[in-house]
Amino acid sequence: LPVVGVMLERHQVETLGTRLLAEAHAVGEALPWASGPTLDVACARLATDLGVRVTVIGPDGKVLGESTRSSESLEDHADRPEFREALGDGEGRSVRWSDTVRDRLLYAAWRQTRANEVRVVRVALPLTAVTANAAQVRQFVILGILLASLLGLGVAFVLSRAMLRRLQRLIAFSERLAAGEPTPYLGPERADELGLLEAQLGAMAARVASTIAELRIEHERLEAILRGMNEGVVVTQLDGTVVLLNARARELLALPREQDGRGRPLVELARDPALAELARVLAADDVAAPRDVTLEGGNGRTIQVNGAVLRGLDGEPFGVVLVLHDVTELRRLEVVRRDFVANVSHELRTPLTAIKGYAETLLGPAGDDRETARRFLAVIDRHSERLGRLIDDLLTLSNLELGRTSLRLAPVLVGPAIDDVLQILAARSAQSHVECSTAIAPGTPPVLADGDRLRQVLINLVDNAIKYTPAGGHVAVRAASANGRPGRAPQVEILVEDTGIGIPAQDLPRLTERFFRVDKARSRELGGTGLGLAIVKHIVQAHGGSLAIDSTLGTGTRVRVRLPAAS
Ligand SMILES: Nc1ncnc2c1ncn2[C@@H]1O[C@H](COP(=O)(O)OP(=O)(O)OP(=O)(O)O)[C@@H](O)[C@H]1O
Ligand SMILES: [Mg+2]
């Protein structure tokens, strides 16, 4: 501000100086070439007209005329700088304090020449006017600057308010982003640097959201795979801490439902230490190939474990994966197969041993006795028949199991089929003093079945009922239509009930196993091989029906067969 003032003043002094100089010329032209009071008066008149001080100085410095007072009273002006300058260069200027008018004055002097005469005309103006002027201008400038700054401040305030709001919006946005909340759309509000930031942040949020969505899909896919797997999967770190295990693994390891298992050492989770041991060995041995161990899991299951080391992209092992297979059923089937072979051999050997024994006896002296020979031959006949039946049953069963038996399905009336069967078994029931009865509910539809197979089923069931019912007992065969649940195909239900010895509850699930007999000795005595119900079950299943047996020990047994009705 002071600089502006000084410059302003200097500029004004400059212009004023030039003007004063011009005035000095004019004044010089107008003044007579005189001195003393005459010139003083002329000077004074011009000075009032122009509003300046006029002095005329001789070449020797003597004042010839003066507008403010009498020239005689003034001292010699030879030392005034403007005078000396004008005398030398023709023109001169200076700003000084004047004792004559007691003020700071601006002097402009001009050297006037006429023939051989020389004088210096000097015009002066108090600088107070200039200073006042400058002060006023300065006031204006200050006011202007103040106004401008005020305006600037206002604008800055408004702008910074807008800026602050946008910044706050950005902060809120990034906070939501960091918290993982769904972020709203963020676009650039204006095309400035902040707008660029907004646009980039918005794009970043969109990218993050899509990445998260992709990861979630990936994760859900993995979860679904693990959930859908029939095998148990356990992943541990190298130190044996479980990091992942699926529901099936939890089930196989018999973990309580509420126990997640993650983050716990495998040794604690598995009952069988062999599992954790396998993981440990795999983790310790860098080159370990997949291995199998079989262990007793919870609830009496047999589990086969495949283990492998997990490696990162750099080939460094970072964990162990164990895949658990439930091989309980496999093991059971192996046992069943072994038992079957043993059973078959045993069942075949019993009649064969008898036949061979009696045949040898017949070949000896005992064979000569006709009566004994007849008796022995009858036994041989009985045993060979049993052998033949056994082989027939085995063939039937294996054909059924292999699906080689083709069923000739046709509508079969249940009533006549039951009558046929009872006819066939009439002699046997009469022999064991067991009474048989039938009851066919009116309106029972025919079944869609292979007639011969249906008779085979009924013969086996009624034969069992007669066999395992003491004398004086009763066997009832009943049939009725069974329209089970709505929407299901209509069925016919056949019940074979007896008042016999019954079957212990724990043996019920095993009845349809091959060679299974509750009382082996008794059954064999009665000529049974334990294949009857196995055949029944296979035939019923091949027809798309169902078999159910319930029994009370000492009271009786009820076998229920359901077969599809012929529409
Ligand atoms: N009605 C029943 N009452 C009591 N026990 C029965 C009855 N039906 C079957 N069982 C028991 O179930 C076992 C298996 O029956 P299944 O018909 O398969 O064999 P089986 O009658 O002994 O011999 P097969 O029928 O081959 O001549 C029988 O040995 C018997 O112990
Ligand atoms: Mg039987």
Helix axes 532-542, 451-467, angle to 10 degrees: 150
Per-residue confidence (pLDDT) for residue 412, from 0 to 100: 95
Does pTM top 0.85 for this prediction? no
- Asked if 562 and 542 count as a contact pair (C-beta separation under 8 A), the reply is no
Distance of CA 528 from the midpoint of ligand 1 (Å): 7
Per-residue confidence (pLDDT) for residue 136, from 0 to 100: 83
Distance of CA 527 from the midpoint of ligand 1 (Å): 10
Q: Which atom of ligand 1 is nearest to the CA of 527?
A: 27
Question: Residue-wise over 324-348: b if at least 16 C-beta within 10 A, else e?
Answer: bbbbbeeeeeeeeeeeeeebbeebe
Per-residue confidence (pLDDT) for residue 453, from 0 to 100: 93
Looking at this protein, which amino acid is placed at residue 444? Answer: T
Per-residue confidence (pLDDT) for residue 224, from 0 to 100: 92
What burial class does residue 475 get, using C-beta atoms within 10 Å of its C-beta: 0-12 exposed, 13-18 middle, 19+ buried? buried
Residues near 4 by Cβ (< 8 Å), separated by ≥ 6? 138, 141
Give the torsion sign (CA, 391, 394, 399, 400): positive
Best mutation site among 464, 547, 561 for ligand 1, i.e. most ligand atoms within 8 A of its Cβ? 464
Distance of CA 383 from the midpoint of ligand 1 (Å): 19
- Asked if 422 and 462 count as a contact pair (C-beta separation under 8 A), the reply is yes
Per-residue confidence (pLDDT) for residue 295, from 0 to 100: 64
Residues near 339 by Cβ (< 8 Å), separated by ≥ 6? 515
DSSP letters, 89-104, are HSEEEEEEEETTTTEE
| Ligand 1, atom 31: closest residue by C-alpha | 518
| Ligand 1, atom 19: closest residue by C-alpha | 530
Residues near 504 by Cβ (< 8 Å), separated by ≥ 6? 518, 553
Residues near 414 by Cβ (< 8 Å), separated by ≥ 6? 440, 444, 446, 447, 479, 492, 494
Identify the CA nearest to 460 among candidates 520, 549, 382.
549
- Can you list the residues of the chain whose pLDDT is less than 70? 1-2, 129, 286-299, 484-485
Per-residue confidence (pLDDT) for residue 565, from 0 to 100: 92
Identify the CA nearest to 495 among candidates 420, 542, 409, 563.
563
Per-residue confidence (pLDDT) for residue 560, from 0 to 100: 96
30/49 Cα distance (integer angstroms): 12
120-155 tens-digit pLDDT: 999 988 887 677 777 787 888 889 999 999 999 999
Q: What is the strand order of the sheet 103-114 is part of? A: 63-66, 53-57, 117-126, 103-114, 91-98
Which residues line ligand 1 at a C-beta cut-off of 6 Å? 393, 460, 464-465, 468, 498, 500-503, 511, 516-519, 523, 528-533, 557
Q: Pairing between strand 103-114 and 242-245?
A: unpaired
Residues near 9 by Cβ (< 8 Å), separated by ≥ 6? 130, 131, 134
Largest alpha-carbon pair distance within the chain?
A: 207
